[in-house]
Copies of this chain bind each other. A is one copy, B any other.
Amino acid sequence: MPLYNFSAGPAVVPHTVLKKAQKEFLNFQGSQLSVVELSHRAKGFEEIIQEAEALLRELMDISEEYAVLFLQGGASLQFSMLPLNLAQKNKALYVNSGTWARKAIAAAQTIDSVTVEVIASSEKDDFHFVPKINSELVDQKAAYLHITTNETIDGIFYRKIPKVGKVPIVADMSSNILANDYSTEDFGVIYAGAQKNMGIAGLTLVIIRKDLLNQEVIFAPMLDYSLQAKNNSMYNTPPVFAIYMAKLVLEWVKEKGGVSQMYHNAQKKSALLYEFLDHSQIFSSPVEKSDRSLTTIPFVTGNPDLDQQFIEQAKKEGLENLKGHRSVGGMRASIYNAMPTEGVTTLVNFMKKFEGENGGK
């Protein structure tokens, strides 16, 4: 029986990528060394990181106006690095669109030298939609406006990136990078943990417009964007294997038709599930139609016991990690680039069967 992994992250990795990594794990390109044993200053690894960057620039159409950084610490460390590097003695604007946006806001608020202003929020509506921005509230002198393009707990996403004048948009794109038709030039900074759509845990990508790089030295070298950019992400030893895996995933995305094809697939795959949810007798989506994520689909029966039964039975059918986040309950299907269409059809078929057995028509 095939197994489909709907985990929110670490998540499914393309099988061909895993096979390739396994095959050359003991002998990278005839070197007799494992890729994990390569010195980060050696030619072999230099080529890996340069190719990863080149592929990313090609796939996301990133111009030379932007620096690409391969860092550590996850999006959670970026929640602090962003305000420290970009907004000290200044104001930073935030949209509160879900659990991750709220975390980014809380991290910025603990920094004394930054003034945080939340200019839109859907919190009192349980984050069931993307809050609208009142353009009058966008202070054009603010250091940036922070958005979270996809919320993995609440299941919303930005279909279009808001226009906010001159203020650079800074985006946590962890859960839908490489899966949308966003234009890089609409952003001042894009950052993303790699463990959803770009490989494995332990790598954080930062794409930053060079004019936004900090002029003043940050008190901790590892947190200093300019220093990291100057050192081509090798101020210290980078996460070699995670960067190698990202390179393989980027090659796979390119081979499969690039980001526009991934976006097309995401629309198709998510539509299969949403269509079923909208006609189901027992399952439903809590998210407003216009803002429903293409990659993160929460759903509920309204009955926690039935939810639990569903999750357990699904597991027996090879449908793994469908349990919703502990903070909201219910179910959640994460449908990243590497999830094949068959995974979604298998899930929908099982939901139909479960519905038939549990009071649906």
Q: Which residues of A contact B (CB under 8 A)?
A: 3, 5, 7-13, 18-19, 21-22, 25-26, 32-34, 36-40, 42, 72-77, 79-81, 84, 107, 110-112, 193, 195, 199-203, 217, 219-223, 235-242, 245, 318, 320-321
Contact = CB atoms under 8 A, between A and B. Distances in A.
A225 to B, nearest CB: 14
B37 A10 contact: yes
B74 A112 contact: no
Contacts of A221: 76, 79-80, 107, 110
A153 to B, nearest CB: 13
Contacts of A220: 77, 80-81, 84, 107, 110-111, 223
Contacts of A39: 7-11, 321
A199 B84 CA distance: 32
Contacts of A81: 220
Number of copies: 2
A220 B104 CA distance: 11
Those 6 A-B pairs whose CB atoms lie nearest each other, nearest first: A202-B239, A80-B220, A76-B236, A72-B72, A3-B32, A36-B200
B219 A110 contact: yes
Contacts of A40: 10, 201
Given A10-B237, A219-B110, A241-B241, A3 B33 contact: yes
Contacts of A32: 3, 318
Q: Which of A33, A37, A79, A219 has the most CB of B within 10 A?
A: A37
Contacts of A241: 200-202, 241-242
B19 A37 contact: no
Contacts of A201: 36, 40, 237-241
Given A202-B241, A239-B242, A80 B37 contact: no
A339 to B, nearest CB: 11
A33 B320 contact: yes
Nearest to A74: B236
Given A10-B37, A111-B219, A237 B74 contact: yes
12 contacts: A18-B34, A19-B26, A25-B25, A36-B200, A73-B77, A77-B222, A80-B220, A195-B240, A201-B237, A202-B241, A220-B223, A241-B241
